Amino acid sequence: MDLGITGKVALVTGGSRGLGLQCALSLAREGVNVAICGRTQATLDKTVDELKSMGSRSMGVVADVSDLSAVDSLHRQVVDGVGAIDILVNNVGGSRSNFDILEISLDDFRGTFDLNLFGGFQLMKLTIPHMRDQKWGRIINIASIWGREHGGNISYMSAKAALIGATKHAALTLVKDGVLVNSIAPGSISHPDGGWERFQNDSTPEVVESFIEHNLPAGRFGWPEPVGDTVAFLASERASMITGACLLIDAGQSKSMI
C-alpha cells in the first residue's frame, strides 16, 4: 500500500530509542525525511545513521522537550536542517514521580505535565502554521491507555488524559485546514531500556507471570513495531478521514468501553 508520504518531513521527539525509534523507522521506510530529538548525542547519531541508510534525509538534535525554553530552538534547527515539518510525532513521555496525591509534590506533578504535554503542545503551536498554509499536516501524539482509564500514578495518568483532550480539541479546530490530529494509546510495550523491560528484569518470574496473567490478555507484553506502523498509517493519505481519534494499541489490555 502506497501511503503517499514520500518526501514529507517529520519530527519525532524522543526518536532515538523505544517507541520513538520505531516511529522514526516506520516513517523512513515510507520515504519520509525524519528528524529526531533526544538527550544523548551518541544514541541520536546511531539512529540517524540507521535512518540515512534507509534513504531518509535525517538529522538528530540534542534537546529535552520538557525544558520549554529549548523547544523553539529545536523547531528552528529541524526546519533549517531538513525542512518545514509536515508530520509531528510527540512521543516523549514519562513520569517525574510514582507517588499518589498524598505524597506527590506540586513541582513533580507539574514536571510530568512539562514532559508529556506542554513541550508537545508548544511544538504543535510552532508546526501548525506551515501545515495550515499548505492545507496538509499530520500530528500524532503518543498517549497511553492510562490516559483513558485508571492506571499508573496520578501525574502520568492526568498528563496523558490532558494530552488526549488537547488532541481532540485541536483536531476539530484544524480539520477544515487539512491538518489531522490524532493520539495513540499504547498498552504495556516492552523495548530495550524501557520501563517494562526493567520491570521484567528486576522482578521475580512469579511477579512477572502474575502481572501478565492479570493484565495482558494476549499472554505477553507488547512490542514497538505495531505502534510505529500505526503512526505511519495515521500520517498517510490513507488516513484522511481519521482525526480526533485515540487509537488503542494494547492487545486488549485496557478495560474502557470507549
Separation between Cα atoms, residue 202 and residue 111, nearest integer Å? 26
Determine whether 67 is an active site residue. no
Could you tell me which of 66, 20, 67 has the C-alpha nearest to residue 47? 20
With beta carbons less than 8 A apart as the criterion, state whether 157 and 147 touch.
Answer: yes
Selecting among 118, 121, 146, 156, the annotated active-site residue is 156
pTM, two decimals, is 0.96
* CA atoms within 13 A of residue 105's CA, in its CB half-sphere: 4
Separation between Cα atoms, residue 84 and residue 257, nearest integer Å? 38
Could you tell me which of 42, 43, 94, 85 has the C-alpha nearest to residue 65? 94
Tens place of pLDDT per residue across the chain (258 aa): 799 999 999 999 999 999 999 999 999 999 999 999 999 999 999 999 999 999 999 999 999 999 999 999 999 999 999 999 999 999 999 999 889 999 999 999 999 999 999 999 999 999 999 999 999 999 999 999 999 999 999 999 999 999 999 999 999 999 999 999 999 999 999 998 888 888 888 889 899 899 999 999 999 999 999 999 999 999 999 999 999 999 999 999 999 988
pLDDT at residue 27, as a whole number: 98
Separation between Cα atoms, residue 56 and residue 11, nearest integer Å? 12
Q: Does domain 9-187+222-249 have CATH number 3.40.50.300?
A: no
Separation between Cα atoms, residue 51 and residue 202, nearest integer Å? 32
Residue ranges of alpha helices (H) inside 54-102 are 71-81
Could you tell me which of 91, 241, 89 has the C-alpha nearest to residue 180? 241
Separation between Cα atoms, residue 104 and residue 106, nearest integer Å? 7
pLDDT (tens digit per residue) in 44-85 = 999 999 999 999 999 999 999 999 999 999 999 999 999 999
